Amino acid sequence: MSSDILKTILEAKEQEVERRRSDRPLDELKAIVKDLPPCRDFAGELRTRAAATQDAVIAEVKRASPSAGIIRPDFDPEAIAKSYQAGGATCLSVLTDEGFFGGQSAFLVEARAACRLPVLRKDFIIDPWQVVETRAIGSDALLLIVAALNDDQLAELSELGKELGLAVLVEVHDEEEMERALKVPGDLVGINNRDLHRFVTDLETTLRLAPMVPKDRLVVSESGIHGPEDIKKLQDGGIGAFLIGEAFMRVEEPGEALSSLLGAHQA
């Protein structure tokens, strides 16, 4: 894998978008969106839980990743979603990128139908067509990765997402990206502990960047969270919302891993 994995992913994504757009033109997607019921309240649920108990978890449905390879060979999005809900997840995140994360849009549809939790589409969004597609597959929230976008794209895609009723999670991993993220109106800031150029994780990234975020935005600490000591460390730094995938996906019952993680840090 190239040393700059994000660059590789984005080049492939541009081609993927062109291909998919010709299969499903924008007008077709817009017609679907028009008849959809409102989104589940992704930002509201997270905020409420984080304020109440500082342990809001966005639990991720993730089959594989470029850094870890196949994480969960026996992959059943419906069963995983049910398990996460039973284990106390506040929201779900579903990887839909096929090329690098072994995901599919269908996994999001299946996972969402199996539970009542709000769902985030985890993908590399670089084009307005994908934002409309995100809503058309029934997602409640959209991820925008600042490192993948220029300021104009970030503003345009986030505005479009909100117009369509999606919650927007804007993801950063350093000071410069945080400054850019804060220029765009929004209520959720994801701090990725994994450097997407090199794929190493360090929880200090969240603790270092979180103080830059004004109180009216909710910080979500993402990636590299494994044990109760990680949660405790982040909570002591004032963080109340977490995005966790791999640590749960490696366990037979992901929801049990989630509830014991939340229980363990309270003990």
Ligand X SMILES: O=P(O)(O)OC[C@@H](O)[C@@H](O)c1c[nH]c2ccccc12
**Active site residue ranges:** 60, 62, 122, 171, 192, 222-223
Judged by CB under 6 A, the stretch of 102-110, 125-133, 155-163, 219-227 that binds ligand X is 219-227
State how far the Cα of 104 lies from the Cα of 178, in Å rounded to an integer. 29
- Confirm or reject binding of residue 223 to ligand X (CB under 6 A): yes
Q: Which of 16, 45, 127, 222 binds ligand X (CB under 6 A)?
A: 222
Judged by CB under 6 A, the stretch of 24-32, 75-83, 132-140, 221-229 that binds ligand X is 221-229
93-152: contacts with ligand X (CB under 6 A):
122, 145
- Confirm or reject binding of residue 177 to ligand X (CB under 6 A): no
Q: Which of 77, 103, 224, 240 binds ligand X (CB under 6 A)?
A: 224
- Confirm or reject binding of residue 225 to ligand X (CB under 6 A): yes
State how far the Cα of 103 lies from the Cα of 89, in Å rounded to an integer. 20
What sign does the CA torsion over 89, 107, 21, 25 have?
negative
CB of 256 to ligand X, least distance (A): 16
Closest to ligand X by CB, 138 vs 224, is: 224
- Confirm or reject binding of residue 16 to ligand X (CB under 6 A): no
Q: Which of 16, 45, 55, 60 binds ligand X (CB under 6 A)?
A: 60
CB of 243 to ligand X, least distance (A): 4
Residue nearest to ligand X (CB): 245
202 φ/ψ angles, rounded to the nearest 5 degrees: -155, 115
Closest to ligand X by CB, 140 vs 230, is: 230
Closest to ligand X by CB, 85 vs 93, is: 93
According to the 3-state scheme, what is the secondary structure of the chain?
CCCCHHHHHHHHHHHHHHHHHHHCCHHHHHHHHHCCCCCCCHHHHHHHHHHHHCCEEEEEECCEECCCEECCCCCCHHHHHHHHHHCCCCEEEEECCCCCCCCCHHHHHHHHHCCCCCEEEECCCCCHHHHHHHHHCCCCEEEEEHHHCCHHHHHHHHHHHHHCCCEEEEEECCHHHHHHHHCCCCCEEEEECECCCCCCECCHHHHHHHHHCCCCCEEEEECCCCCHHHHHHHHHCCCCEEEECHHHHCCCCHHHHHHHHHHHHHC
Q: Which of 92, 188, 246, 265 binds ligand X (CB under 6 A)?
A: 246
Closest to ligand X by CB, 85 vs 221, is: 221
**Residues 23-42: x where in contact with ligand X by CB under 6 A, - otherwise, as a string:** --------------------
Which of 61, 66, 147, 68 lies closest to 105, judged by CA?
A: 61
Closest to ligand X by CB, 33 vs 251, is: 251
Q: Which residues bind ligand X (CB under 6 A)?
A: 60, 62, 122, 145, 171, 192, 222-225, 243-247
